[in-house]
Amino acid sequence: MLMSASPLPPDGAAGSAQEATGPAADPAVVRADALIDAAAIEGNARTLRRITGTAVMAVVKADGYGHGAVTAARAALAGGADRLGVAYPSEALALRAAGVDAPLLAWLWPPGEDVGAAVGSGVALGVASVAHLDRVRAAGGAGRIHLKIDTGLGRGGATPADWRALCEAAFRAESSGEVRVTGLMSHFASAEVPGDPSVEEQLTAFRDGVRVAAETGLRPQVLHIANTAAALDLPAARFDVVRCGIGLYGLDPTVGHGHGLRPAMTLRAHVALTKKVPAGSGVSYNLTYRTPAATTLALVPLGYGDGIPRAASSRATVWVNGRQFRIAGRVAMDQFVIDVGGEAVAAGDEVLVFGDGSRGEPTATEFAAACDTIDYEIVTRIGPRVPRTVLS
């Protein structure tokens, strides 16, 4: 069964985010859509829980890595995820508005932001500085917080030099009933790189941070640092909770990819036009591709305005009628062209840009490699002009 799913509103948009449950459009007239296999997300959550033996926080930020945050959250929880994680409080509130009431953490926000609505909705907040702590205190309601230490990634989190002061301030705020410190967290820089020395260095720094927190009197319920790669390959990094993002969507960041995760997104379009052209015909902007022989060109109505990287120009392949064809020339804002040679391709034929690979189409990982990027970027950049059609 197909269901079309509306994406969550952008940050600051009014109204609640809900899935549409009407029938899917006739595929013959759909320009393009992204098929979202909710059962795959559910199965991936179950696999991650089984492999790690640890509670799983399903990361559904960035509209569920492009899959639809509400769809991803519900599927992950059905698969045994214990809690959810997002970047921004606005993302958390959109999930609450859609009726998702699972434990939920939002870890990235400026210290000047009003987080009262998040605290009032039971959203736990990441706290990386005394300024962040003060904002949660000002919101009232004894908000739940996860203190974040920077163990070497150099992004969010308190530095080790500032960590004790943050923990001491948090303990005082907790003792006065202003907050509840329910977690300590950090994030790896290179967990997907086998043998990278920074991983052990960060683990040591995290353990040191946990020790300092205990010395100040804090007794958090959960410790977490592991992303998908660490969750799968580094048992010592699992602690109480693992935060799984990319793996939840079936994309495995580890070497060998032997964990049985199943990609959950298939991006498809339908050929808009075909035409026969002679040898030497130029294709798309700047004519960077010229046909080596008389051939048929097929126009695909997807472009960088929909999330197809311009870097895919003359590099990435797509799948049509049982064969892969390379993109010919520059990807434009709304379209790209493939040179199908003498193959029988007609307007209306389905084009699989990427999927789970079971039909011979490229996977998002393979498409990303052709563009010199990562599969995280490929799935998250699919834009709002591409409707999500949920398989259920």
Q: Which of 70, 11, 81 is nearest to 43 (CA)?
A: 81
Is 61 noted as a catalytic residue in this protein? Answer: yes
In 60-178, beta strands by DSSP E:
83-86, 104-106, 124-127, 143-148
Per DSSP, the three-state class of 141 is coil
DSSP bridge partners of 222: 183
Nearest to residue 281, comparing CAs of 260, 302, 296?
296
Does 148 participate in catalysis according to the annotation?
A: no
Of the listed 61, 65, 249, 304, which one is catalytic?
Answer: 61
Q: What is the Cα–Cα distance from 350 to 27, expressed in whole angstroms?
A: 9
Task: List the catalytic residue out of 249, 275, 285, 304.
Answer: 285
Element (H, E) at 134: helix 130-139
What's the CA gap between 51 and 366, in Å, rounded?
Answer: 25
**Residue 117: closest CA among 91, 99, 98:** 91
Tell me the residue type at 378: I
- The two tokens of residue 244 are 């799984």
How far apart, in whole angstroms, are the C-alpha atoms of residue 33 and residue 291?
29
Token digits for 316?
């990435």
Q: What are phi and psi of 91, to 5 degrees?
A: -65, -40
Tell me the catalytic residues: 61, 285
